[in-house]
């Protein structure tokens, strides 16, 4: 084989090798939760907080890109962390109201016109971009989310007592702290069992393949 042919063959081999994405490795790419999130088979769960700057960044670019690639394979869920932020509990309640309202209307809570997405990003932008801290209290905090979706306080007060909303708030409260205490937020969990190590994320494609592989376990 001539040097030129050898070089071409070697380059082709390297290209093929570089295109192979290794299977996710426990301890490096993910950890197995000691306390799995219940009823989470076939899901990709994001644990987040309105006051987390990295959650905001991931929600603007990474999560939409991942969802676009895996939306037909898994169900995407948001779990708000009630223990982080001055208004963590209020945040969980108002965001749960919006999530349930979207589902009742047949809307994807991640869609551009979804009440959940509008409320979530209103809180993100107020806290991180406008540096708002709602010193006037919880009502002012809630108003930021309610105004973003055109919901009155009276309507919110009625909806927050819906059993579906209360069940969702409880599900979030029962699971998020145990997940977040491992490496903080945002935290990404596949099938309720496998927590992705955010430090190992290098690319969208790599992240997608890791999620896809873990979803089969």
The upper half-sphere exposure of residue 31, i.e. CA atoms within 13 Å in the direction of its Cβ, equals 12
Q: At what angle do helices 138-149 and 115-124 cross, to 10 degrees?
A: 130
- Strand arrangement, sheet containing 43-48: 30-32, 194-196, 187-190, 43-48, 75-80
> 21 pLDDT band (50/70/90 cuts)?
low
Section 25-43 average pLDDT: 97
Q: At what angle do helices 138-149 and 88-104 cross, to 10 degrees?
A: 20
Which residue blocks in the chain are alpha helix, DSSP H? 3-19, 53-57, 63-70, 88-104, 115-124, 138-149, 153-159, 163-183, 204-215
Top pLDDT among 11 and 35 is at: 35
Asked if 33 contacts 191 with a C-beta cutoff of 8 angstroms, the reply is: no
Q: At what angle do helices 88-104 and 163-183 cross, to 10 degrees?
A: 130
Section 86-103 average pLDDT: 98
pLDDT (tens digit per residue) in 124-166: 999 999 999 999 999 999 999 999 999 999 999 999 999 999 9
Beta-carbon contacts of residue 86 (< 8 Å; ≥ 6 apart): 51, 133, 134
Sequence spans of domains, the chain: 30-216
CATH class of segment(s) 30-216: alpha beta
Section 66-92 average pLDDT: 98
């Amino acid at each position: 084989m001539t040097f030129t042919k050898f070089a071409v063959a070697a380059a082709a081999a390297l290209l093929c090798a570089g295109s192979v994405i290794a299977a996710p490795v426990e301890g490096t790419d993910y950890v197995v939760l000691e306390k799995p999130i219940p009823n989470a088979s076939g899901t990709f769960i994001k644990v987040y907080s309105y006051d987390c700057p990295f959650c905001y960044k991931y929600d603007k670019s990474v999560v939409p890109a991942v969802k676009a690639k895996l939306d037909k394979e898994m169900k995407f869920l948001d779990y708000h962390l009630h223990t982080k932020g001055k208004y963590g509990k209020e945040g969980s309640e108002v965001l749960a109201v919006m999530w349930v309202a979207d589902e009742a209307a047949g809307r994807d809570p991640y869609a551009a016109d979804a009440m959940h997405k509008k409320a979530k990003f209103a809180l993100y932008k107020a806290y991180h971009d406008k540096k708002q801290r709602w010193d006037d209290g919880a009502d002012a905090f809630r108003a930021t989310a309610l105004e973003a979706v055109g919901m009155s306080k009276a309507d919110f007060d009625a909806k927050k007592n819906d059993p579906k909303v209360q069940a969702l708030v409880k599900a979030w409260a029962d699971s998020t702290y145990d997940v977040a205490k491992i490496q903080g937020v945002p935290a990404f969990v596949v099938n309720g069992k496998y927590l992705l190590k955010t430090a190992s994320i290098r690319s969208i494609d790599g992240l997608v393949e890791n999620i896809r592989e873990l979803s089969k376990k």
